Structure 1
Amino acid sequence: MAATPAPRASDSPAAPPAADPPASPRDVRLFWWASTADALGTQTSGIVLPLLLLTLGYSPAAVGLIAGASAAFGLVLGPLAAVPADRGARKTVMLWSAGLAALAMATVSVMVAMGRPPLVLLLCAVLVERLCTAAYDAAARGTVAMICPPEGYPRLVARLQVGDNAALVLGPVLGGALYQLGRAWPFVVDALSYAATAVCVGFMRADLRADPRAAAGAGPAAAPTDRPADGEHGTARPGPSPEGPDPRARRLRRAALLTEAGAGLRLVGTTPLLRLVTLWTAVVNGALSALYFGVLFFLERDGHSGSATGLVLAVSGAAGIAGALAAPALAVRLGAARTFLAVTWLLVPLAAGLAAARSPWAFAALFGGVCLILPCATVVLQSRTIATTPPHLQARAGAVLAAAAGGAAAVGPAAAGLLAARAGSAGPALGCTAALIALAVYTGWAHPRTLKNTGSTS
């Protein structure tokens, strides 16, 4: 799940912002189109990049290097990019990130169209794109709270998930078709999608800056922007020495940056709801990744064609869209806490069923069931965390949650391979079932009132 929340500003609960942002249907639509265009372009090019590298004669090790370096860039740079976003430059970061990512993908498309691009240049362009994506994602995490009142969070979060799932279904199909026309075309579409994202963000009228009154009480995290200017109140900041910048001033700036970047981690650790979200998303994302690769291992071992994998992806994407559309109404009807716990327990039999499945249709049905019910839980979690989080901390804490989920998802394939080697084709599903049982027991025992005490999602 892609989390967008952030916790409180201190050890004690912080009140929500004084005034809720008015509903802005125009900005909501523009933000949805920006997010969907971004996801569609990423899915279109992402599905063919490994194929392109292998076709150009690069080794699987080189392909793995690019994929691993890209993922590492996102995990490391996300919390750093969240600092300026939370400090008032949210829209600027989103605009520049989307624009530079469009330029990077345009460069890749030109290099591919000209022939066999050097691996170093291709790697640099892909890493620049990954850096820009991490910065954009970090800045975008607080946007929901800026353009929508709390009662609209579940519906907007669900609509964003619909766009992501639609991109997951259409992107690989579009990427494959364009790749047949010419190797550069998927990357051209990705560049255009980033350009469309930048245009949509640029036309948004909402002020995407956090309320400065809330930021003023943020403690150490607010210090770099809330200090008086040079010379105010009879104080002066360290200045440059004749030999160059003051080393002490450089150390202070680095310490302040690390303090700001680490604010999200500290706040997640002191907020029960955010601790629950971190654990839940990490376990579920890791389990989904392992389950998917377990299905791939089984289908490949039994000699099924690529169409079987396409069937699983198509059914899962369609089920995810249906689940996201139904999630807000279902959460209102059943209640947020009841919906969340029900989804957590229902994941267990679906994962166990994958251990006994033997046909592509069975895998598609069970994986589709997982993707059908999962949005109900993610809409509840994201809506609650957005509603209880001061906007000036959303990006930084959201980056921490995204890093936990992304790190767990990155470990999933390796865990699936290890379990398959030790316990056969059913090993990944059985291991994930055990992990999901433990998560459901812990959630029901340790956090029965966490969601009930954080307001309503309706």
Structure 2
Amino acid sequence: MGSIRAATGKSAARARTSRASRTSRTSRDVRLFWWASATDALGTQASGVVLPLLLLGLGYSAAVVGLIAGVSTAAGLLLAPLAAVPADRGARKPVMFWSAVVSALAMAAVTVAVAAGGPPLVLLLGVVLLERFSTAVYEAAAAGTVVLIAPPDDNARVVAGLSAGDQGALILGPALGGALYQASRALPFLADTVSYAVAAVCVRALRSDLRPAKPEPAPEPVLDASAPVVRDASGPASTPEPPHPRRRSALVAELGAGLALVRTSPFLRLVLLWTTTVNGVIVALYYGAVFTLHDGGHGGGPMGLVLALSGAAGLVGSLAAPRIAGRIGAARLLVTVTWLLVPLAAGLATAKGPWAYGGLFGVFCLLMPLVTVVLQSRAIQETPPHLQARTGAVLGTAVGGSAALAPVLAGLFAARAGTAAPAVVCAGVLTLLACRTTFVRIPPGGVPGPVPPKGATV
């Protein structure tokens, strides 16, 4: 009996040690992934805010600046779904690592070219496209990482931490880029180079297996004994096999797997509708603010104030989202926040000064992450591990498309009907979205409850 108790005690001790080891590895990998995401976002914000200034300073027109931004955005949107396939097949970590390395090399080339003098437009366009390509690949592969490095109970808190890192980068990045640009035009791009290098090191140091578990194979079909048997002269009897699908059809099926899942899942369709609409609206409102403040004679300082206030508010909203969602409930939070966004957008149509814009825009950015974090964390749970990257690419492409289209529409409405027109149109769009969400049911389990202060941390 004593030997049995001793063996049982040893087994329990080994189980506790194994659980502690898994918890320690999870916490470490979540922190590494957070640092990779946060530093990447910080460097991107630092270089992105000064790239238009560099091009304008080199004598290029605003049309050329807009063309480069549009082409690079479109290139990234087209490449992300292609990159998601190898990530879901098990190559997630190599894809993320080498994408960060290529991005670092691209920004290093920009740094050297700018430091050497006036780089030619062809060189800048080529390097920017290369960086956008590799960044799109990284983002597509990273879409399924959270569910592989954190337990389901921690998904909401990890997503909230990642969103908070992005919002913090939105606060610090433009200020850092502007300060570095004042010292030397090449320094913001050097900072972005370092940020990509840090991201690559953090990804390489991850210990978790980032290969998703393969889905259970379908059961073997039961053959009918009366079915005809095919025999040939070269071997034993065999049953007829279905024709092998063409490679092109198989590739199309691989690429369309994420889209098929979104199309058949009511909740993922809701995530697609809400995030695409609200992200397009917030970009249109931002450009509406640019047009209004410019017409009022305000310079870049007031726009920096609006960005800083919105980034700080978004940071607070991201951190508070899991706890508030646990207390209020996902469905009620979704409807409440969507309706509250309507008067804020309408108020921006009448705002004139930077303080009024900063206040209203800040409240808008405070409320938006409360729903975004909830929807993203539940979308992770709704998506099978082997489809995480492809589903994320579908959602990301839709959101990126709306964000790319929003400035064009905002400019058209402002030119035709005045600078208040973008905010009025956005208020109307949000009203339709609020009506739609009022009658949507979130399936049971859609509330990421309050996350306890244990397990993975960021």
Q: How does 1:79-158 map to 2 (within 5 A)?
A: 79-158=81-160
Q: Partners of 1:454 and 1:267 in 2: how far apart?
A: 19
Task: Give the counterpart of 2:247 among 238, 242, 253.
Answer: 253
SS of 1:206's partner is coil
The answer for the alignment partner of 2:266 in structure 1 is: 272
Identity %: 61
Q: Partners of 2:260 and 2:319 in 1: how far apart?
A: 34
Shift of 1:254: 3.2
Q: Deviations over 1:272-311 (max 9, x none)?
A: 0111111111111111111111111110001012111111
Q: Partners of 1:404 and 1:204 in 2: how far apart?
A: 29
Residues 234 and 365 of structure 1, relative CA distance in 2, 3 Å threshold: farther
Structure possessing the higher radius of gyration over alpha carbons: 2
Q: Partners of 1:349 and 1:52 in 2: how far apart?
A: 38
Q: Partners of 2:294 and 2:61 in 1: how far apart?
A: 21
The answer for the alignment partner of 1:296 in structure 2 is: 290
Q: Partners of 1:41 and 1:110 in 2: how far apart?
A: 17
Task: Give the counterpart of 1:26 among 28, 48, 53.
Answer: 28
The answer for the alignment partner of 1:62 in structure 2 is: 64
The answer for the alignment partner of 2:8 in structure 1 is: none
Task: Give the counterpart of 1:424 among 378, 395, 418.
Answer: 418
Amino acid at match of 2:147: A
Unaligned runs of 5+ in 1: 1-20, 218-232, 236-248
Q: 2:147 touches 2:385 (CA, 8 Å); kept in 1?
A: yes
The higher relative CO (CA closer than 8 Å, separation ≥ 6) is in 1
The answer for the alignment partner of 1:398 in structure 2 is: 392
The answer for the alignment partner of 2:402 in structure 1 is: 408
Q: Deviations over 1:134-155 (max 9, x none)?
A: 0000000000000111111111
Q: 1:22 touches 1:147 (CA, 8 Å); kept in 2?
A: no
Residues 455 and 315 of structure 1, relative CA distance in 2, 3 Å threshold: closer
Q: Partners of 1:435 and 1:373 in 2: how far apart?
A: 17
Shift of 1:456: 3.5
Q: Decide which moves more: 409-418 or 369-378.
A: 409-418
SS of 1:154's partner is helix
Q: How does 1:52-451 map to 2 (within 5 A)?
A: 52-214=54-216, 216=217, 252-445=246-439, 447=440, 449=441, 451=442
Q: 1:165 touches 1:318 (CA, 8 Å); kept in 2?
A: yes
| TM-score for both structures, normalised by structure 2 | 0.86
Residues 333 and 276 of structure 1, relative CA distance in 2, 3 Å threshold: same
Aligned-residue Cα RMSD (Å) equals 2.1
Q: Deviations over 1:56-78 (max 9, x none)?
A: 12222322221111101111000
Q: Partners of 1:86 and 1:189 in 2: how far apart?
A: 31
Q: Decide which moves more: 153-162 or 205-214.
A: 205-214
Q: 1:337 touches 1:452 (CA, 8 Å); kept in 2?
A: no
Q: Partners of 2:298 and 2:51 in 1: how far apart?
A: 23
Unaligned runs of 5+ in 2: 1-20, 219-236, 450-458
Amino acid at match of 1:300: H
Aligned residues: 408
| TM-score for both structures, normalised by structure 1 | 0.86
Deviating runs (4+, > 6 A) in structure 1? none
1:456 aligned to 2:426?
Answer: no
Amino acid at match of 1:143: T
Q: Partners of 1:388 and 1:123 in 2: how far apart?
A: 39
Q: Partners of 1:418 and 1:398 in 2: how far apart?
A: 31
Q: Partners of 1:455 and 1:327 in 2: how far apart?
A: 14
Q: 1:22 touches 1:148 (CA, 8 Å); kept in 2?
A: no
1:39 aligned to 2:41?
Answer: yes
Residues 430 and 406 of structure 1, relative CA distance in 2, 3 Å threshold: same
Amino acid at match of 2:126: C
Q: Partners of 2:69 and 2:355 in 1: how far apart?
A: 30
